[in-house]
Structures are given as C-alpha cells and as structure tokens.
Amino acid sequence: MASQRGEGETTTTPAEPADRERARAIPEAAVARLAVYLRVLSGMADQGVTAVSSEELSQAAGVNAAKLRKDLSYIGSYGTRGVGYDVEVLVSHIERILGLTRNHSVAVVGIGNLGHALANYGGFPGRGFPVTALFDVDEDLVGIPVGGIPVSHIDDITAVCLEREVSIGVIATPPPAAQSVCDRLVSAGVQCILNFAPVVLQVPDNVEVRKVDLAVEMQILSFHVARRADEAASVSVGNNGLGVDGMVIRP
Amino acid sequence: MASQRGEGETTTTPAEPADRERARAIPEAAVARLAVYLRVLSGMADQGVTAVSSEELSQAAGVNAAKLRKDLSYIGSYGTRGVGYDVEVLVSHIERILGLTRNHSVAVVGIGNLGHALANYGGFPGRGFPVTALFDVDEDLVGIPVGGIPVSHIDDITAVCLEREVSIGVIATPPPAAQSVCDRLVSAGVQCILNFAPVVLQVPDNVEVRKVDLAVEMQILSFHVARRADEAASVSVGNNGLGVDGMVIRP
DNA sequence: CCGACTTTGTGCATGCGTTCACAAGCGGTA
DNA sequence: TACCGCTTGTGAACGCATGCACAAAGTCGG
Ligand SMILES: NC(=O)c1ccc[n+]([C@@H]2O[C@H](COP(=O)([O-])OP(=O)(O)OC[C@H]3O[C@@H](n4cnc5c(N)ncnc54)[C@H](O)[C@@H]3O)[C@@H](O)[C@H]2O)c1
Ligand SMILES: NC(=O)c1ccc[n+]([C@@H]2O[C@H](COP(=O)([O-])OP(=O)(O)OC[C@H]3O[C@@H](n4cnc5c(N)ncnc54)[C@H](O)[C@@H]3O)[C@@H](O)[C@H]2O)c1
C-alpha cells in the first residue's frame, strides 16, 4: 500500500551497470539540486566557460561547496583534483542521470489562466520538455491553438496521450476537476504528474506526483515574517511574559 | 555570511510566551504541511464538519497519521483524547501560527504570461493574500488594469510598495531581470520573495526567498521515470543477483 | 623529476525529520 | 462512580541529510 521503496530487490548490485544502479541511491534532495547545477552549468557553457571548481559552482548555485561535491559524488567521480570539473562532461553526466538524454513530451490539462501561461512559455522545449498536447473541457477552446498547439477535448485524452507519447501530465484545472483529470491521465499511461491544483491527488504506486502550491508557498513566507516579527518583539520589549494566551501582535 | 541560524541568541527561552517561542522550533517541513492541513480543514469546515480525528485528517492530507499528530503538537495540544480535533479550533490555531491573522499584501513584478495568470487568479485574496500591486517595464502595459489592478511602472516600485504595505513580492520577469527586480523589492522593504525565474537570487539575511522552478520539477519527474525504467530493465534482464562489489540496496 | 600547491572525494560526526509504540487522558456507559 | 474503548501527545529509536576536515590525487613551476 504505502511507501514501497525498493520492492522485491533481493539482489545486490550487478557488476556492470553501476552507472544507473547508482541512481537509486541518490537522495531526493540531491536530485533537485542536480537540476539546479545543470542549469547553472548550461549557462556557463553558453558563456564559453570550460572548467569550474566546486567552490565556484556551489556559489553560483547557492549551496555549500561540500554539499555540492557530495551531490556530484553520487553520480560518479568526474572531476580532476587540483583543477575542478569539466563543464561539458559534467553537463552530460547530469543529463544522463536525470534521464534527459531523451525528450519528455508534456501535456497540459486545463487551458485557463495558468494553462495559457504554460502553453505559451518557451522555456520548456529547450530543456527537453516539449509541450505536445493541450486539453480542456471548454468546447470554445477546443481546436484553438495556444502556443502553436491546438487544444484537444479532454475526452480524447487517452488517444492523444498515447499517440504523442506523453510522459508528463500537468494539471491546471480548477480543484474539483483535478482528481478526475488525474485519473484520466493515469489510465492514458502517464506516470508523471505535475499538479497545480490545491488538492491532494490519489494515485497508484507507479505514478509520481509533484505539486506546486502557490498558496502554501505564500503561507510559508507568512510564517517566517510572523516568526521574525515575534523575535524582534521579544528582543525589543524585553519579552516580559504576558504572552499568555497567545495572539501577540507586531511591534 | 552564510547560514546564521540561531545568531546572537544568548537568551534561553523565557518561561511564559511558550506559544510563539514554540514557533521557532517548528521544522520547516512541518510548516509546509501545516499549510496543507489548513486547506483541508477549511474545506471540511465549509462542509459543516466540526470534528476530525488525526487518522481522517492525515488521510485527507496525504500524510502519515503519526506525522500529523507530531506536526500539530508543535503548535500545542488542542485535541481531545478519545475524540479528535475541533475543526474550527484547529483552523484558528494554525492560522495564528502561520501569521494569517492579518492580510499579507502581494505585489507581482513582470506582467507577461505568468504575471497575467497570477494577477487574474482569484484564489489568493480569499486566503489572506490580496494582490495589491503589479509592475512591469513595458510602457504599453503600464496603466492597464489586470485582474482589476492597474499595472505600475517598475521605477515606482519603492513608493508603491511602501504605500500599499506590500509584504510579499512575486518575481515573474525573464531571468536576466530577476536579480535587479529582487534588489529593488528589497530596498522597498519587502522581506518575502517568491521567485519564478530560474535564477539563484542573492539577498540579505533578513529576506526570505522561496523559488518555484517548473523545469526543475519536471527534471525530478524525469529522473524518477529513468530510475524506474532502469529498475524494470534490471529485473526483466534477470539480474540474478550476487552483487559483487557490495553497495547493497534495500531488502 | 620533484616538491609545493590546489582541489576533489569521502569517512565521520552531528543534527534534523520521520516513524513507532504506548502511556495518559477523555467521553461514554452501566 | 468505576470501567472500557478510543484517540491524542510524545519519548525514543531510527534513518537521512548536512557539513567538516583531511587524505588522496592531480597540476604546475622549477
Ligand atoms: N492562475 C494562477 O496563478 C494560479 C495560482 C495558483 C494555483 N492555481 C491553480 O491552478 C488551477 C488553474 O488555475 P487557473 O487560474 O488557470 O483557472 P482557470 O479557471 O482560469 O482555468 C481552468 C481551466 O480548466 C478547464 N477545465 C475545467 N474542468 C476541466 C476538466 N475536467 N478537464 C479539463 N479542463 C477543465 C476550464 O475550462 C478552464 O479553461 C486551479 O486549480 C488553481 O487553483 C492557479
Ligand atoms: N510562463 C510560464 O509558464 C513559466 C514557467 C516556468 C518559468 N517561468 C519563468 O517565469 C518568468 C516569467 O515568464 P513569462 O512566460 O511570464 O515571461 P514573459 O516574457 O511573458 O513576461 C515577462 C514580463 O516581464 C517584464 N519585464 C522584463 N523585464 C522587467 C523588469 N526589469 N522589471 C519589470 N518587468 C520586467 C516584461 O515586460 C514582460 O511583461 C520567466 O523567468 C520564466 O522563466 C515561466
């Protein structure tokens, strides 16, 4: 039911494909950072930089240098001691680990405010994520091209997803429709879902979901201001108690 | 320079104001989940639900029940053993901890594809995050209302932010402009930034930044498909075990 | 060819976050 | 009132991630 990480796997690693087997051991947090390193490295490559040290790269990526080296060590040892890393080499290794050696076709469902923005965004194709299908229930939208791609009707989702080999589904519908859309994507064989609707999606174990919840992001920020305000209050007022039943306000 | 967590803090926690002092101890990850619980609880309240058990709530929020109880314990003990939690009570306590007892005015900078979507989105005001200011460099956009709010020129950012008491700045400009916009927001006194541009922002210690990077999200998804594909390959090929050089995985 | 210098890769300790498991506490019932 | 069953709240164990510190490994100048 629940987590099921390593499944059956009685096996230890076979000798040869150490490269990909290694992938399983990469911490989730490190994967997210590898994607950031990749972006930074790509930028450097574009500017003609050919080599980079862990110190430089870590600064550019906004992380600790030791952490960066450890992250890179998860994917192998491709640096040169005393020198640093070859940018090209690193880029290609990270791309391989992240599975970016092939394109991942993306479908956007719900062509409203957000869906339009996503469909019109030019940043995805260049990074290996071409948007190849758009879906909506609204008959008035069906057939109209957005960002160069005509909107399909949601009822055709299975056929279209299979035909265009969609591997990532993006949900940008209103919350009530999200679960149903998700189910449809799953039955169309989509195994990766990026969800913008503020809803907890229910999916089978073999489907990976990531959510982007802007309200939550803002609330986290809100928490930090509140905390900071309280700290300030504690310090300046001397914090002589009184906090009793809570509801302390701002300085 | 770098992290600076607990800083000067020679003080131990004073006795009384346990309520807010507690806030400092809440793990970052728990804060994010609290926001999710809040959303779920609000939905329940709207449907007339008055009480909920940790089991029910955790299922609705998609997390482990024990984790949920621990998360709630960070903000105090407001449940009733043998019964569960009062929805109203929980909502108001979480809101207080997250600093949602007052509104947080939001400014969006960069009214392009994404900026339009954000400005038009109706979900923020209802959650205590009214969008009160929009900025762009494009003269053609300035003055035009989007989502009911006229776009201001980026050069007026300081005055407008101060006037409207903006507490959260959202960056939706092209990457090259992001750092400069960020700097302007900071000098306008904004201490919370939500960044959509794929750029690592440099900010002073007293400013909180959260980033939303869709390309990174997709690359993480990509990693998981690749990993899964490899596992499948390993299994189907037989992978009859006997790992040689160690690196045991999980049972 | 050697020695000094630079930077990687990683073992280890530390801290944070998650999960388990259970005593404590409460409402309901007889 | 006393008991019973249910659910909370949390101590403690575990596992993962972070950061330090240094040996290993390579470059470069002489
Ligand atoms: N716009 C934003 O900035 C923003 C911010 C945060 C979260 N969100 C979330 O993103 C989602 C989309 O937001 P939006 O502002 O674009 O909404 P929207 O109302 O503008 O667009 C929703 C679109 O989905 C379509 N739709 C509805 N039901 C559908 C179904 N069953 N199948 C396919 N399409 C369907 C509608 O026809 C509409 O075109 C919402 O869940 C919202 O909460 C949006
Ligand atoms: N649209 C998406 O779905 C999407 C997805 C992922 C990431 N992003 C990122 O979000 C950002 C915005 O994307 P977009 O598609 O809306 O871009 P866009 O080009 O449509 O809009 C950018 C807007 O910013 C304005 N701008 C430029 N420089 C500015 C400055 N110095 N000050 C104020 N405004 C300025 C432009 O005039 C334009 O209106 C980009 O960094 C992009 O990489 C967007």
pLDDT in tens, B105-121: 999 999 999 999 999 99
Pairwise CB contact (< 8 Å): A23 & B230: yes
Distance CA A188, CA A194 (A): 15
User: Under an 8 A CB cutoff, do B220 and A104 touch?
Assistant: no
Q: Nearest residue on chain A to B237, judged by CA atoms?
A: A14
Q: For residue A237, what pLDDT is reported?
A: 54
| Torsion sign, CA atoms B240, B246, B247, B251 | positive
Q: What's the CA–C1' distance between A84 and D28, in Å?
A: 14
CA angle, corner B208, sides to B206 and B213, nearest 5? 150
Confidence of residue B236 (pLDDT cuts 50, 70, 90): low
Contact B99 A223 (CB under 8 A): yes
Decide: helix, strand or coil at residue B150: strand
Range from A35-39, B126-130, B227-231 carrying the lowest mean pLDDT: B227-231
- For ligand 1, which residues put their CB under 6 angstroms from it? A 109-115, 135-138, 154, 172-175, 177, 180-181, 196-198, 214; B 117-118, 121, 123
| Bridge partners for A246 per DSSP | none
Q: What pLDDT sits at residue A12?
A: 30
Q: What is the pLDDT of residue B234?
A: 66
Find the mean pLDDT for residues B51-79: 95
CB contact set of A20 (below 8 Å; sequence gap of 6+): B226, B227, B230
| Ranges of CATH 1.10.10.10 domains, chain A | 19-97
Q: What is the pLDDT of residue B162?
A: 96
pLDDT at B25: 81
Which CATH code is given to the segment(s) B106-214?
Answer: 3.40.50.720
B103: annotated binding-site residue? no
Q: Decide if pLDDT at B64 tops 50.
A: yes
Mean pLDDT over B1-25 rounds to: 40
CA of A130 to C1' of C18 (A): 37
Q: Is the pLDDT of residue B100 over 70?
A: yes
Helix (H, G, I), strand (E, B) or coil at B135: strand
Q: What pLDDT, on a 0 to 100 scale, did the predictor assign at position A77? A: 82
- Please report, for residues A72, B97, B234, the alpha-carbon distance to residue A84 in angstroms, rounded to integers and kept in the order given: 12, 45, 33
B33: left (phi over 0), alpha (psi -120 to 50) or beta: alpha
What's the pTM?
0.89
What residues contact B104, with CB distance under 8 A and at least 6 apart? Answer: A218, A221, A222, A225, B128, B129, B167, B168, B192
Contact criterion met (CB below 8 Å) for B178 and B195: yes
Residue B250: predicted pLDDT: 32
> What positions of strand D are covered by protein, i.e. any atom < 7 Å from a CB?
5-11, 16-21, 24-28
- For domain B19-97, the CATH class is mainly alpha
Over residues A7-24, mean pLDDT:
41
Long-range residue pairs from A194-197, CB within 8 A, at least 24 positions apart, any chain: A194/A168, A194/A169, A194/A170, A194/B214, A194/B217, A194/B218, A194/B221, A195/A170, A195/A171, A196/A114, A196/A170, A196/A171, A196/A172, A197/A171, A197/A172, A197/A173
Mean pLDDT of B190-216: 96
Token pair 């108001």: residue: B92
B131 → chain A, closest CA residue: A218
From chain A, the residues in CB contact with B216 under 8 A are: 32, 35-36, 39
Closest to A135 (Cα-Cα) out of A182, A102, A199, A189: A182
B112: annotated binding-site residue?
A: yes
Residue B226 has pLDDT above 80, yes or no: yes
Say yes or no to pLDDT of A86 above 90.
yes
Written as six digits, the tokens of B150 are 């006229």
Of A235-239, B44-48, B98-102, the poorest mean pLDDT is in A235-239
Average pLDDT over residues B52-64: 96
Contact B223 A36 (CB under 8 A): no
Tell me: is residue A113 an annotated ligand-binding position: yes
Ligand 2 mutation target, pool B109, B111, B113, most atoms within 8 A of CB: B113
Phi, psi of B79 (to 5 degrees): -100, 170
Alpha-helix residue ranges (DSSP H) falling in chain B = 18-25, 28-46, 54-61, 65-74, 87-97, 113-120, 157-163, 175-187, 214-236
**pLDDT reported for residue B24:** 61
pLDDT of residue B228: 82
Does position A205 have pLDDT exceeding 70, yes or no?
A: yes
Chain A positions in Cβ-Cβ contact with residue B120 (cut-off 8 Å): 113
Angle formed at CA B23 by CA B21 and CA B24, multiple of 5 degrees: 80
Name the closest-CA residue to atom 20, ligand 2: B112
Which residues, in sequence order, are CB contacts of A235 under 8 Å at separation 6+? none
B135 lines ligand 2 (CB under 6 A): yes
Q: Which residue of A has its CA nearest to B16?
A: A241
Which of A47-56, A230-239, B75-84, B98-107 has the least mean pLDDT? A230-239
Residue B147: how many CB atoms within 10 A of its CB?
19
| Intervals of CATH 3.40.50.720 along chain B | 106-214
The overall average pLDDT reported for chain B is: 86
Q: Which two tokens stand for residue B227?
A: 């990993």
Q: Is the pLDDT of residue B231 over 50?
A: yes
CA–CA distance, A26 with B38 (Å, rounded to integer): 32
**Ligand located closest to A134 CA:** 1
**pLDDT at residue B70 above 60?**
yes
Residues A248 and B17 sit within 8 Å (Cβ to Cβ): yes
